[in-house]
């Protein structure tokens, strides 16, 4: 793999434990982790892994993925170096590797409103666009004007909001994972900083009181069915506190599965599928999984 190492100025990390790179704190060893410094390096890496038919995964903050504890024989590509940030009036241009929570706080403190929903979402901008992350009846689809993407043909193009097919917890990128978000152009509104920060603090208190933030998790496991909530349905069929190994349905919020100690990715996946099956059998509603199983 010497040639792979020459493609990026940051070098290549080998045999990295993935549990250090996911919010669930699960995952086995990955053969390689690469952090390209720019688009040119990213293209070089992608051409190499595709031509050598190597498995690869673009990974943001690891806040919505579940890796098995078995080895990942492939390349993890992280866009941590894509950190550019430009704020002009109420418009923001930001790199895909930028922390979503950090960005949301930065724009809020600057008196811009529209990203309050994101102050509790521990992902990257690219990951948030990919899955159309949201909360409190808002999501990325409301604020993203356009994005720069790398196409499967290695072209950098702009895609406008209407092309991105934003819907509840999905987007064009999720449906076409060979397109990679490099940068987002976000448009917000001017607001009163004190009022914005009051909303953020109020929601933070609500999260602390209603979510099991003291345990590793990846946030909401299932999408809310129209007109209902996944947490209510899971609780209604008596699954709060259900455990498989070190994975447990939170007693604080039933739509969270938490790692209560040395859970494996396999145990978390098994528990998610078990919850889905029981809810379907008892209510007739098939919950859709928000999180991604990576084999």
* Predicted local confidence at residue 1, as pLDDT: 59
Only one residue has tokens 């990203």, namely 115
State the Cα–Cα distance between residues 264 and 2, nearest whole angstrom. 32
Is 220 known to be catalytic?
Answer: yes
The 10s digit of each residue's pLDDT in 2-60 is 688 899 998 899 999 999 999 999 999 999 999 999 999 999 999 999 999 999 999 99
Domains of the chain: 2-78 (3.30.43.10), 85-195 (3.30.465.10), 212-294 (3.90.78.10)
* Predicted local confidence at residue 252, as pLDDT: 97
* Predicted local confidence at residue 3, as pLDDT: 86
Which residues are 197's β-sheet partners? Answer: none
* Predicted local confidence at residue 59, as pLDDT: 96
The 10s digit of each residue's pLDDT in 153-166 is 999 999 999 999 99
State the Cα–Cα distance between residues 135 and 207, nearest whole angstrom. 11
| Catalytic annotation, pick one of 220, 250, 266, 267 | 220
Residue 25, CB half-sphere, CA atoms under 13 Å: how many? 13
State the Cα–Cα distance between residues 86 and 279, nearest whole angstrom. 45
- Token reading at 177: 């994972």
pTM above 0.85, yes or no: yes
Is residue 48 within 8 A of residue 7, CB to CB? The reply is yes
* Predicted local confidence at residue 171, as pLDDT: 97
Q: Which residues of the chain have pLDDT under 70?
A: 1-2
> Exposed (0-12), middle (13-18) or buried (19+): which is 123, by Cβ within 10 Å?
buried
State the Cα–Cα distance between residues 143 and 187, nearest whole angstrom. 5
Q: Which letter, b or e, does each residue of 57-88 get, where b requires 16 or more Cβ atoms within 10 Å of its Cβ?
A: bbbbbbbbbbbbbeebeebbbbbbbbeeeebe
Is 50 known to be catalytic?
Answer: no
| Catalytic annotation, pick one of 19, 81, 99, 169 | 169
* Predicted local confidence at residue 2, as pLDDT: 65
- Token reading at 125: 């901008």
Count of beta carbons in the 10 Å neighbourhood of residue 213:
17
Is 169 known to be catalytic?
Answer: yes
């Amino acid at each position: 793999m010497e040639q792979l190492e020459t493609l990026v100025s940051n070098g290549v990390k080998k045999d990295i434990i993935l549990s250090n790179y996911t919010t669930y704190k699960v995952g086995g060893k990955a053969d390689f982790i690469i952090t390209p410094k720019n688009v040119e390096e990213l293209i070089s890496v992608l051409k190499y892994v595709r031509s050598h038919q190597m498995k690869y995964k673009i990974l943001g903050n690891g806040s919505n993925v579940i890796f098995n504890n078995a080895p990942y024989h492939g390349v993890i590509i992280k866009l941590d170096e894509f950190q550019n940030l430009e704020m002009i009036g109420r418009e923001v241009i930001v790199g895909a590797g930028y922390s979503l929570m950090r960005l949301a706080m930065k724009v809020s403190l600057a008196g811009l409103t529209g990203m309050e929903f994101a102050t509790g979402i521990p992902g990257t901008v690219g990951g948030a666009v990919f899955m159309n992350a949201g909360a409190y009846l808002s999501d990325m689809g409301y604020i993203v004007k356009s994005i720069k993407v790398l196409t499967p043909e290695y072209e950098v193009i702009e895609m406008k909001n209407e092309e991105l097919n934003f819907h509840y917890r999905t987007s064009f990128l999720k449906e076409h994972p060979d397109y990679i978000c490099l940068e987002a152009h976000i448009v917000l509104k001017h607001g009163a900083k004190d009022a914005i920060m009051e909303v953020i603090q109020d929601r933070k208190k609500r999260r602390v009181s209603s979510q099991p933030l003291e345990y590793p998790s990846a946030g909401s496991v299932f999408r809310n069915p129209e007109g209902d909530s996944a947490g209510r349905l899971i609780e209604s069929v008596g699954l709060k506190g259900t455990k498989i190994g070190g994975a447990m349905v939170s007693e604080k919020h039933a739509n969270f599965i938490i790692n209560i100690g040395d859970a494996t990715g396999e145990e978390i996946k098994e528990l998610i599928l078990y919850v889905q099956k029981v809810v379907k059998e008892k209510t007739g509603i098939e919950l859709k999984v928000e999180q991604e199983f990576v084999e």
